[in-house]
Chain A
Amino acid sequence: MQPEAPASVTLASLLPGQSGLVRDTDALSPGDAAYLRALGIRPRSRVRLCRQGGPCIVEVGCGCGGPCCRVALSRHLAVHIIVEPMPA
């Protein structure tokens, strides 16, 4: 039997301190998705929610697990980014 795929949630619904792997940003407008990609938020990148709210603060580390940068994101963007929660 195949193991069940981890449930996907929106970035906005992560708990403070919880990490996730970005699955897709398809619900965003192409312009917003391109801007977030340039900021490092793109499929397969690892994110950690530092502060909930609108705007929220997200720590963005790239797929390679290197150093992170912090990005303030409006709630409008955070609810359109789908992530797979990662175990602590």
Chain B
Amino acid sequence: MSDAPAPTALPAEPAREVRPIRVAILGNPNTGKTTLFNRLCGVRHKTSNFPGTTQEARIGFPRGLPEGSELIDLPGIYSLELDQSEAAICRDVLAGQLAPRGESVEAPDAVLVVTDATNMPRNLMLVGEAIRRCLPTVIAINMVDASRRKGIHADEGVLTARLGVEAVPCSARTGEGLDALLAALTRARIPTESPPPSEDGLALWADDLYARMAAGYDQPRPDTFTDRLDRAFTHPLLGLGAFVGVMAGLFFVIFSLAAYPMGWIESIFSRLGGLVGAVLPPGAIHDLVADGVVAGIGATVVFLPQICLLFFLISLLEDTGYLARAAFVMDRVLRPFGLNGHAFVPLLSSHACALPGIIAARAVPDRRDRLATMLTAPFMSCTARIPVYVLLTVLLFRDSPLLQALAFTACYALGIAAGLLSALVARRTILRGPSRPMALELPSYRLPSLRTALLAAWDRGLVFLKKAGTIILAISIVLWWLGAYPGTEPPPEAVEIRERAEAAGADADALLAEADAIESRHATRRSFLGRMGEAAEPVFRPLGYDRQLTVGVLASFAAREVFVATMAIQIAGRDDVEESGVFEAVATATRDDGRTPIFTRATCWSLLVYYVLAMQCLPTLAVTAKESGHWKWALLQLGWMWGLAYASALVVFQSLRAAGVA
């Protein structure tokens, strides 16, 4: 006989049919909730957030339900009663007190509780909490294909008979049972039973319910496959080796595969710029569209392949169950610095771009841990730093690819070290307090879902374009304006060369190019940005930077990659630094005195250190402010990173100069 307390009987209610219906999807993490949502809705969904929170909300429009019906994907939670923001959101949505932004605030017409057939005993706890809400409910027993393979059997009919709600076995991965699930949603019923109100009572109720479901079946086979893999992936040494291997593979795939679409995008925008040049007459509108809008959008969209590829691969890794093991392995490494294993994915993502990294910090459960992760993320060397690293390491070691590669690697190592030390400082000062101890579910290993990974890449790509694209575009236009105005008359030197070009007739091309370069340098110097460079030069002089380098640093304040193009424009009059002859011109460029080189060895090292550490990315600041909920964290990030970059570059330059390194 069971010792479970007697359940509270609820009055039976006739089936309710509401058309169209709004369904809230509730479930534990790792139950395949997102895979189910993607299977039912595909790209027919929109992304929003819950008002007053940074929690993303996905609203889907599934086929198979009445026209206008919606699925709301709630955050994955282990219990509705936990003191966590995700649980509070779920509670409020089910109570009809919260809805995704733009949606009417009312209780859902039905709750779809997604459970994992391979882990029913624990999932039944959340089922019990959900049916306490007395909302029309359907239970999806997901992953039945996996449970069959593992020899796990349970009678779902017991749930239907006992609770008075439909329990539908299904597999979001294969599509099995999904038609029946959608049909069940249209006739969702209010449960006829509710678990006892106490937590102990709920646990006994869930155990008793599962015992009845599993009665008559054999005990499941031990999961030796997971055992064997975990022995390697969570081993202190083997696990770390596997982690390094997986991450190296991930970056290799991202950087090697993304290079192709990035090249195509650059080519498209280059042609688009040429098209604008041909269609629009010369003037302010032409310059705004070609140099501001097209260049600004192009500079943003070019990073889209890396962002999409990163999230595609992370989704695949997460789906296999490996990512939780990686977090486990990294917890040992990160904890001495006041971070924990949850910070690993955001920090990894930040190596592509800090924006998705900071957004990914939402997965860090504790607020202090989350803020420390956000403050650390921009120190990771993102792809926007790469053009700067390439230019400076090649200038430093022209004839040694090996030393270039070592310097390049040192930049990444310096960023990681500075990030971890900054996290340690933050956790011992402004974010003082205990770090949340790790309690992380390690899901079973399984084959990943390609569909889920593709949709993750699609979603993140759209978010990146919408958020970062608009901000970078606005900044690009402002920078273009500062760099282009006020217009200046051509310098006498350029006028004289043009007169000689006219006289030269057919051989005028080289002279005209020289005149263009002189006019471009003159215009840049006399622009608002150039004048700002002159004004700010005393600030950067101790770091070894002259007026032109100061303009480069200021122009790239909004986006680091602008530095290379700005230097090329100032020095060579062209922004394609890889074009034959332009790199040589940059390498041998001199300061305004015409004698001192701009890029000395000491200056190059100083610039490298500066660009590894400085917060030269306005979109990152905007996203930090949004995700942390306050601008003070973004300003603190800006001040700390800039101060650290300035001080470090100062020490490097002055030390090298004192040591006689020119």
Chain A residues engaging chain B, CB cutoff 8 angstroms = 31-32, 34-40, 42-44, 50-51, 53-55, 57, 60-74, 76-77
* Inter-chain contact B442/A37, CB cutoff 8 Å: no
Alpha-carbon distance between A50 and B229 when the two chains are bound, in angstroms: 12
* Inter-chain contact A64/B211, CB cutoff 8 Å: yes
Contact A32-B437, Cβ < 8 Å, known A57-B442, A67-B120, A69-B122:
yes
Comparing B199-207, B464-472, B508-516, B582-590, the segment that makes contact with chain A is B199-207
Within 8 A of A (CB), among B613-647: none
Of B121, B150, B152, B214, most A-chain CB atoms within 10 Å: B121
* Inter-chain contact B438/A38, CB cutoff 8 Å: no
Contact A66-B121, Cβ < 8 Å, known A72-B439, A72-B442, A73-B438:
yes
Comparing B77-85, B552-560, B654-662, the segment that makes contact with chain A is B77-85
* Inter-chain contact A38/B223, CB cutoff 8 Å: no
Contact A70-B226, Cβ < 8 Å, known A39-B441, A62-B206:
yes
Interface SS of B by simple majority:
helix
* Inter-chain contact B328/A72, CB cutoff 8 Å: yes
* Inter-chain contact A35/B82, CB cutoff 8 Å: yes
Partner pick for B439 among A43, A44, A77, CB 8 A cutoff: A77
Alpha-carbon distance between A66 and B324 when the two chains are bound, in angstroms: 23
Determine whether B564 belongs to the interface, using a CB cutoff of 8 Å to chain A.
no
Extra pairs beyond A35-B82, A57-B230, A74-B331 (8, CB < 8 Å): A32-B437, A39-B78, A43-B200, A67-B150, A70-B441, A71-B441, A72-B439, A73-B438
Residues of chain B within 8 A of A38, CB atoms compared: 78-79, 81-82, 125
Residues of chain A within 8 A of B210, CB atoms compared: 62, 64, 66
* Inter-chain contact A69/B119, CB cutoff 8 Å: yes
Partner pick for B230 among A37, A66, A70, A74, CB 8 A cutoff: A70
Partner pick for A66 among B199, B220, B223, CB 8 A cutoff: B220
Residues of chain A within 8 A of B79, CB atoms compared: 34-35, 37-38
- Ordered by A's residue number, 28 sampled pairs between the chains whose C-beta atoms are within 8 Å are A34-B81, A34-B83, A39-B78, A40-B121, A53-B236, A55-B331, A55-B438, A57-B230, A57-B328, A57-B442, A62-B210, A63-B207, A66-B152, A67-B119, A67-B120, A67-B152, A70-B230, A70-B443, A71-B439, A71-B440, A72-B324, A72-B328, A72-B331, A72-B439, A72-B442, A73-B437, A74-B437, A77-B437
Alpha-carbon distance between A68 and B192 when the two chains are bound, in angstroms: 29
Of B82, B437, B441, most A-chain CB atoms within 10 Å: B437
* Inter-chain contact B121/A67, CB cutoff 8 Å: yes
From residue B48, how far is it (CB to closest CB) to chain A in Å?
A: 27
Determine whether B104 belongs to the interface, using a CB cutoff of 8 Å to chain A.
no
* Inter-chain contact B220/A73, CB cutoff 8 Å: no
Determine whether B219 belongs to the interface, using a CB cutoff of 8 Å to chain A.
yes
From residue B320, how far is it (CB to closest CB) to chain A in Å?
A: 14
Partner pick for A50 among B118, B227, B236, B438, CB 8 A cutoff: B227
Alpha-carbon distance between A53 and B438 when the two chains are bound, in angstroms: 12
Residues of chain B within 8 A of A50, CB atoms compared: 227, 230
Alpha-carbon distance between A77 and B434 when the two chains are bound, in angstroms: 13
Please report the number of residue pairs spanning A and B whose Cβ atoms sit closer than 8 angstroms: 117
> Considering the complex of A and B, which 6 residue pairs feature the smallest CB-CB distances, nearest first?
A38-B78, A62-B121, A38-B79, A74-B437, A70-B442, A66-B121
* Inter-chain contact B214/A64, CB cutoff 8 Å: yes
Residues of chain B within 8 A of A63, CB atoms compared: 203-204, 207
Residues of chain A within 8 A of B121, CB atoms compared: 40, 61-62, 64, 66-67
* Inter-chain contact B230/A51, CB cutoff 8 Å: yes
From residue B207, how far is it (CB to closest CB) to chain A in Å?
A: 4
Chain B residues engaging chain A, CB cutoff 8 angstroms = 78-79, 81-83, 118-122, 125, 147, 150, 152, 154, 199-200, 203-204, 206-208, 210-211, 214, 219-220, 223, 226-227, 230, 234, 236, 324, 327-328, 331-332, 341, 437-444
From residue A28, how far is it (CB to closest CB) to chain B in Å?
A: 9
Residues of chain A within 8 A of B226, CB atoms compared: 70
Nearest-neighbor residue (CB-CB) of A31 within chain B: B83
Alpha-carbon distance between A34 and B324 when the two chains are bound, in angstroms: 21
Residues of chain B within 8 A of A54, CB atoms compared: 332
From residue A4, how far is it (CB to closest CB) to chain B in Å?
A: 24
Residues of chain B within 8 A of A61, CB atoms compared: 121
Residues of chain B within 8 A of A34, CB atoms compared: 79, 81-83
From residue B147, how far is it (CB to closest CB) to chain A in Å?
A: 8
Of B204, B332, B441, most A-chain CB atoms within 10 Å: B441
From residue B591, how far is it (CB to closest CB) to chain A in Å?
A: 56
From residue A68, how far is it (CB to closest CB) to chain B in Å?
A: 7
Alpha-carbon distance between A36 and B437 when the two chains are bound, in angstroms: 11
From residue A43, how far is it (CB to closest CB) to chain B in Å?
A: 8
Nearest-neighbor residue (CB-CB) of A41 within chain B: B439
Residues of chain B within 8 A of A62, CB atoms compared: 121-122, 206-207, 210
Residues of chain B within 8 A of A71, CB atoms compared: 439-442
* Inter-chain contact A67/B118, CB cutoff 8 Å: yes
Residues of chain A within 8 A of B200, CB atoms compared: 43
Partner pick for A39 among B214, B236, B439, CB 8 A cutoff: B439
Residues of chain A within 8 A of B150, CB atoms compared: 67
